[in-house]
Amino acid sequence: MKIGLIGLGIMGKPMAKNLLKAGYDLAVSDLNRSAVEEAVAAGAKSASNAEIGADCGVVLTMLPNSPQVKAVMLGEDGVAVHMKPGSTLIDMSSIDPMVSKEIASELEKKGIEMLDAPVSGGEPKAIDGTLSFMVGGKREVFDRHKEILGAMGASVVHCGGVGAGNTTKLANQIIVACNIQALSEAMTLAKMAGVDPQLVFQAIRGGLAGSTVMESKAPMMLEGNDRPGFKIDLHIKDLNNALDCAHSVGAPVPMTAQVQEVFQWLHSHGCGGDDHSSIIKYYRMLTGLESL
């Protein structure tokens, strides 16, 4: 089966390499030619979006947000124009679930199946192939394509119909953001109370407060390392989608709104490209602390 992947950014490029390692016949497309060339050097074929639509039974997209996915798939001369009935779109982007449903509805008119399959894990897990996939769509379509996603992830879970994958991803991003903010507050409290935050981390990591978020982000905060595994600007995008979705269904999300304001402050102060663990910088600003 020939697979096409559109989008070779921070996540898409290592995901392409893992598909190649698994032996898939892969065509790739991206506006960044150097990313395409790197994927080609790893064994992929370069192709236009139209060629991917026409030649590939499965089209994967890994794009920044809802407008880009809609434009690529449904825009003038979009990929959907060239896809054949019976082919499948697997959108791995993190977008508004309402947009996933809209795209799926248009594709259904052409006899094209769709899964929304956003991921969690950031660049490190994209590189080592241990991403978590949250997938929405028909069960039989999921079953046919689970192996492809398994080449890039350690966890591939069917969450319901189209849109369920992105709804699950939004829930994930809310939990991650609120955990990072709580961790920042706790480490700041420890520092200002005269207790070594490193020792606090060691003491509580094995208890109920311990989490994957803490294991990943506490060391970065303690080291002052803001190199992005997941950028603040990307988390802002996800939380905007979460807030839009919540407003459309009437769900109360006050904590999400609060942490989004902190992220927006950081963006306005030049930190949008930093890792989302840089929420700690907001607390350093409030307190005058130079470091943990």
The CATH number covering residue 142 comes to 3.40.50.720
What angle do helix axes 232-249 and 254-268 make, rounded to 10 degrees? Answer: 150
Task: Enter the tokens of residue 159.
Answer: 């969450």
Are 155 and 178 in the same domain? no
Can you give the residue range of the structural domain that contains 266? 167-287
Report which residue type is found at 69: V
Please count the structural domains in the chain. 2
Residue 269 lies in a domain: yes
Q: What is the pTM of this model?
A: 0.91
| Spans of the chain, pLDDT less than 70 | none
Are 69 and 25 in the same domain? yes
C-alpha of 49 from chain center = 22
Domain's final residue, options 107, 140, 160:
160
Are 117 and 215 in the same domain? no
Are 6 and 32 in the same domain? yes
The CATH number covering residue 203 comes to 1.10.1040.10
Residue 214 lies in a domain: yes
pLDDT at residue 182 in the model:
98
pLDDT at residue 123 in the model:
87
Task: Enter the tokens of residue 142.
Answer: 């999921």
pLDDT in tens, 20-50: 999 999 999 999 999 999 999 999 999 999 9
Are 24 and 154 in the same domain? yes
Query: What is the C-alpha separation between 286 and 289, in angstroms, rounded?
Result: 8
SS3 per residue for the chain:
CEEEEECCCCCHHHHHHHHHHCCCEEEEECCCHHHHHHHHHCCCEECCHHHHHHHCCEEEECCCCHHHHHHHHHCCCCHHHHCCCCCEEEECCCCCHHHHHHHHHHHHCCCCEEEECCEECHHHHHHHCCEEEEEECCHHHHHHHHHHHHCCEEEEEEEECCCHHHHHHHHHHHHHHHHHHHHHHHHHHHHHCCCCHHHHHHHHCCCCCCCHHHHHHHHHHHHCCCCCCCEHHHHHHHHHHHHHHHHHHCCCCHHHHHHHHHHHHHHHCCCCCCEHHHHHHHHHHHHCCCCC
What angle do helix axes 97-108 and 66-74 make, rounded to 10 degrees? Answer: 10
Strand-pair partners of 5: 28, 60
pLDDT at residue 168 in the model:
97
pLDDT at residue 151 in the model:
98
Domain's final residue, options 110, 143, 160:
160
Query: What is the C-alpha separation between 128 and 115, in angstroms, rounded?
Result: 23
Cβ contact 134:120 at 8 Å: yes
Please state, as a whole number, how many other Cβ atoms lie within 10 Å of the Cβ of residue 211. Answer: 16
Contacts 24+ apart (CB under 8 A), 39-47: 39/8, 39/13, 42/16, 42/17, 44/5, 44/16, 44/20, 47/4
Domain's final residue, options 126, 160, 194:
160
Please state, as a whole number, how many other Cβ atoms lie within 10 Å of the Cβ of residue 76. Answer: 6
Residue 109 lies in a domain: yes
pLDDT at residue 135 in the model:
98
Are 17 and 122 in the same domain? yes
Residues involved in catalysis: 169
Are 79 and 187 in the same domain? no
Task: Enter the tokens of residue 210.
Answer: 């311990």
Are 12 and 152 in the same domain? yes
Are 95 and 232 in the same domain? no
